[in-house]
Amino acid sequence: MKNKEIPELVVRRLNLYARCLGYLEEMGVLTVSSKELGDRLGIADTLVRKDLSYLGEFGHRGVGYYVSQLRHSIRKMMGADKPRALVIVGAGNLGLGIGKYHQHFLDNHRVVAYFDTDPEKIGQSVEGIPIYPMEKMEEIVAGMGVELAVLAVPKDQAQRAAEKLVLAGVRGILNFAPIALQLPPTVRVAYADLTLELQNLAYFLEKEANSTSPAGFVISRRRKEE
Amino acid sequence: MKNKEIPELVVRRLNLYARCLGYLEEMGVLTVSSKELGDRLGIADTLVRKDLSYLGEFGHRGVGYYVSQLRHSIRKMMGADKPRALVIVGAGNLGLGIGKYHQHFLDNHRVVAYFDTDPEKIGQSVEGIPIYPMEKMEEIVAGMGVELAVLAVPKDQAQRAAEKLVLAGVRGILNFAPIALQLPPTVRVAYADLTLELQNLAYFLEKEANSTSPAGFVISRRRKEE
DNA sequence: TAGATTGTTAATCGATTAACAATC
DNA sequence: TAGATTGTTAATCGATTAACAATC
C-alpha cells in the first residue's frame, strides 16, 4: 500500500519471491498462498504478506495470489521488467567465469562489454562480447548509458577501477574484490565477498566442533520440499 | 565476555574487523581505537566495542586495542587460525574462475580438489589442483576430511551435487547457483547469488530514476578514507 | 454458507545507539 | 592529574510474528 522506501531486507525477499514465482509459473501453477510461497523459501506466511503489501493489494482473500500477475507486479516494482546493460571490469578468470556462467540466468541483464588492462586480451571478444582497454571505459559506459557493473579485478586495482566506473556514470557495482570500496553515497555497492563468506561458514563449523553436542546424524530437512 | 552463540550479523562484522586489522598490521599500526576501526568500515564505535566484547575484554582504556593481538583473538574465535581444506564442485568457467582468483586471498583456506562431470576435464589439473569425477566425491572429501565446499555447477545440477557433498561429510557450502538448496539444518549454506544481487542493485537505480530528486552531483564520500 | 486466506494492527523480539561510570 | 577510551546498561529503533477482523 505504501509507495516510498522499501527496506533493503524487503527488497531482497521480493526478488526472491519473484524468482520463486517464475518457477511456479513454469510449472503451470496459477495461484499461490502466502503460506505456500513462504514455505518454499523458509519465510513465515505473515512476513510474505507484509512484504507483498508494499506493492499494493494484489491478493484475493480465500484464494491467494495469481502467480503470473504477482510476479509481474514485483518485477515492475523492482525494475526487473526493463532490459539493463551491464559491464564486467576484469576479463580474468573470475570476470569471464561470471560472464559466461550468468549468460543464461541474467534475465533482463545483458553483458555488453568487458574491460581489462592486459594488452593480450584487449581487442578480443568472448562469446561475442568485446574486451576493451580501461581507457575506453568512459566512452563505452557513458555512451551506452550503462549503470550497472560487476567488478572482478585484483584487490589492489579495485578502488581505482571503481572510481573510473563511477566517473563514467555507473551507479550500482557488484564488487568481488575482498575490499571495502570508498565511493560516493549515491553509488550503491553490493559485496560478493567470497573470502568473508567462507570465514563466516568456518565459524559455524568451529562452533559445532567446540560444542560437545551428541553426534547424532542428519535427520530433518531445512526447508519444505520444492 | 559471553561464551556462547554469537549472532550471525556479529560474526560477519568480526570477520570484517579481522581483515581490516590485518591491513593495519601490514601498515605497521600498533593500536587502534573502536572509533578508528569503525570509521574504516562505516560502523559505529559503540557497535564495534559491543561486537568485540563477545570475545572478552581485550581493550585498554585510554589506549584502544592492540592490532595484532586483537586480530589473533578474533581469528581464533572465528576458527580462522587453522588451515581448512576446500573443494570446488564445477570446474567450468565460474568454478575455475573462483579457484584461480581466490588462490591468493584464501588465507587459511586451500582448494584441494575440483569435481566435474565433463570427461574432457576429468583427470586434468588446474594450477596443480586435480579435477575428479563426481563419483569420487565421497572418497576424496570424506578421505581428506573436507568440510567446506564451493558449489559452482549449473542451476539444475545444484541440488543433486549439494546432496552428494553432504553425504560425503561437507557441513558448509558456498552456493553460487541461483536456487535455494534444500538441505539438512546441520548444513550451513551461504548464498552468493549474483543474479539476485544485480536485481537488488537495479531496484535502487529504479527507485532513484522514479524519485524526482534534484540532480545534484556527487559530493561526499560514503565512508572515511582507508 | 463455511472454509480459506488476505491485509493490517498490536505485541514481541532482536539489533543498534546513547549514555556514562570505570580506568588506563 | 587530565584526556582518552573502554565495557556495559538502558533507551531506541527496526524487523518479525501473532492475532484477528474483513471478505472472497
Model confidence over B90-109: pLDDT tens digits?
999 999 999 998 877 678 89
Cell of A165: 566506473
For residue B46, say whether its CB is under 7 Å from any atom of strand C: yes
**What pLDDT score was predicted for residue A50?**
97
- Look at A196 and B86 and tell me if their CB atoms are within 8 Å: no
Interface contacts (A, B; CB < 8 Å): 236
Q: What residues contact B94, with CB distance under 8 A and at least 6 apart? A: A97, A98, A100, A101, B152, B176
Cell for B226? 582507508
Residues contacting residue B190 through CB under 8 Å, at least 6 positions apart: A197, A198, A200, A201, B172, B173, B174, B175
Mapped onto helix, strand or coil, the DSSP state of residue A64 is strand
pLDDT at residue number A222 = 34
Minimum-distance nucleotide, CA of B1 to C1' = D7
Q: What pLDDT does residue A41 have?
A: 94
Mean pLDDT of chain B: 89
Report the nearest residue to nucleotide C18, CA vs C1'.
Answer: B46
Asked if residue B34 keeps its beta carbon closer than 7 A to nucleic acid strand D, the reply is yes
Do the Cβ atoms of A11 and A79 come closer than 8 Å?
no
- Give dist(CA B90, CA B93) in Å, integer: 8
Statement: residue B198 has pLDDT above 60 = yes
- B53 beta carbon to strand D: under 7 Å: yes
Q: Which of A27, A86, A37, A67 is nearest to B205 (CA)?
A: A86
Whether the Cβ atoms of residue B186 and residue B171 lie closer than 8 Å to each other: yes
Q: Are B106 and B86 in contact (CB under 8 A)?
A: yes
pLDDT by residue for chain A (226 residues), tens digit each? 334 689 999 999 999 999 999 999 999 999 999 999 999 999 999 999 999 999 998 999 999 999 999 999 999 999 999 999 999 999 999 999 999 988 776 788 999 999 999 999 999 999 999 999 999 999 999 999 999 999 999 999 999 999 999 999 999 999 999 988 989 988 999 999 999 999 999 999 888 776 644 443 333 333 333 3
Strands A129-133 and A125-126, sheet pairing: antiparallel
Contact A195 B152 (CB under 8 A): no
Q: What is the pLDDT of residue B224?
A: 31
Per-residue confidence (pLDDT) for residue B4, from 0 to 100: 67
Looking at residue A206, its pLDDT comes to 85
Sign of CA dihedral A20, A96, A91, A153: positive
Q: Where are the alpha helices (DSSP H) in chain A?
A: 8-26, 34-41, 45-52, 67-78, 93-102, 137, 143-144, 155-168, 194-210
pTM assigned to the model: 0.89
pLDDT of residue B7: 95
Query: What per-residue confidence (pLDDT) applies to B211?
Result: 62
Q: B157: pLDDT confidence band, cut at 50, 70 and 90? A: very high
B213 or A124, higher pLDDT: A124
Protein-contacted positions of strand C (CB under 7 Å): 2-9, 14-19, 22-24
Rg from Cα positions in chain A:
21
Taking the CA of residue A180 and the C1' sugar atom of nucleotide C16, their distance in angstroms comes to 21
CA B9 → CA A82, B26, B31, B59, B73, distances in Å? 34, 26, 25, 21, 18
| Average pLDDT rounded to a whole number, residues B205-214 | 66
Nucleotides of D under 7 A from a protein CB: 2-9, 14-19, 22-24
Closest CA to A87 of A54, A117, A110: A110
Task: Please tell me the distance in Å from A159's CA to the nearest CA on chain B.
Answer: 10
Residue in chain B nearest A206 by alpha carbon: B79
Q: Is B18 exposed, middle or buried (0-12, 13-18, 19+ CB in 10 A)?
A: buried
- The Å distance, CA of B48 to C1' of C18, is 14
Nearest protein residue to the C1' atom of C15, measured from CA: B9
Which of B142, B150, B161, B152 shows the shortest CA–CA distance to B109? B150
Least CB-CB distance to A79: which of B15, B79, B206? B206
In the numeric block, the cell 583456506 is attached to: B109
* Cβ of B39 less than 7 A from strand D: no
pLDDT-derived band of residue B3, with 50, 70 and 90 as boundaries?
Answer: very low
Rg (CA), chain B: 21
In the Cβ-directed half-sphere of A144, how many Cα atoms lie within 13 Å? 18
pLDDT at residue A211 in the model: 61
pLDDT top residue among B191 and B214: B191
pLDDT at A4: 67
